[in-house]
Amino acid sequence: METKIQTGPVSTKAQMQTVPKKKFKVKSLLGYAAFVGPALLFFLVIQILPFLMGLYYSFTSWNGVSSAVEWVGLENYLKIFTNDPAFFNSFIFTTKFMFAAVIISNVIGFAFALMLNAALKTKNVLRTVFFLPNVIGGLLLGFIWQFIFVKGFASLGNMTGLEFFKMPWLGDETTAFWGIVIVFAWQTSGYMMVIYIAALQGVDTSLLEAAKMDGASAWTLLTKIIVPLILPAFTICLFLTISMAFKIFDLNISLTGGGPFNSTQSVAINIYQEAFQNNRYGLGTAKSILFFVVVAIFTTVQVMMTKKREVEA
């Protein structure tokens, strides 16, 4: 018994099916290229390329001005770990500042969010007032608070006789540290407040009403229902404040300039002075690469821990 194989109609049908698929793939690639291409190009030029160039210069002794670039290998990194106590002192200061600033700014921002999420008549005005410091530039904000600490607090101290206002806020190591923390928290807490308010408005009110009917206290509502439901907002706010606190530069340089006696010098100021004032660009970029690695480790660990809590909650 013979079997007849009809190849003509089948091949024609297959061609009709493959041609539209190929056209669809080409159109998809063109669409991706049109919409993603410009953003990807700018990202490569503005972010990736400078990072790779900085990584290269960290292995050189370039002074940032001359055309001669001498390859020195790991010499810059060895200098940092063996003969640069100023960098490690600035790193210790920055780490302590980060922990204090992150906790205080998030606590204040979350407290503002809880207050303004209630049915207040002036909540829109208060949201604007609390968010306004975030709009002001860091240098300008630092000079404003420098005047407040030096002149304003001194006048209040003479009027009231309170020792709190008479302290040398920017002239002592301890008070200067807390002065920078206060200004940072004052600037960033409004931004954190906006994120927390957006998260609080997404909480289902029926859950809160049901818990109230069951006799749950305000503290129980906050810790057992509200906070677990808005943990993604905590993840975002902690990530933002950790990165901003680590990279602090403008507030630090306008308030204290790293003084007194470099006791409040952040890592960013140390890198800036090394690269652009001491004309050791290679050593400065080596410090910035190490600083990038440390900040990446801190933020990655924080995101992993808070994301894990989100899943558990």
**What is the per-residue pLDDT for 5?**
47
Task: Specify which residues 71 forms β-bridges with.
Answer: 60
Q: What is the pLDDT of residues 40-94, one digit of tens each?
A: 888 899 989 999 999 999 999 888 888 888 898 899 999 999 988 999 999 999 9
The model's confidence at residue 1, banded by pLDDT at 50, 70 and 90, is very low
**162: phi then psi, degrees, rounded to nearest 5:** -80, 135
CB atoms within 10 A of CB 213: 8
Q: End-to-end CA distance of the chain: give it in Å, rounded.
A: 70
Residues 6+ apart with CB under 8 A from 260: 171, 172, 173, 176
pTM of the model: 0.83
Is pLDDT above 80 for 312? no
**What is the per-residue pLDDT for 199?**
92
List b or e across 2-38, with b for residues whose CB sees 16 or more CB atoms inside 10 angstroms.
eeeeeeeeeeeeeeeeeeeeeeeeeeeeeeeeeeeee
**Which residue type sits at 25?**
K
Q: What is the pLDDT of residues 187-213, one digit of tens each?
A: 999 999 999 999 998 888 888 888 888
User: Reduced to 3 states, what is the DSSP secondary structure of residue 41?
Assistant: helix
Q: What is the pLDDT of residues 94-153, one digit of tens each?
A: 999 999 999 999 999 999 999 888 877 888 888 888 898 888 887 888 888 999 988 888
**What is the per-residue pLDDT for 10?**
47
Given 3-state DSSP classes, what are the helix, strand and coil percentages for the chain, each rounded to the nearest 5? 80, 0, 20
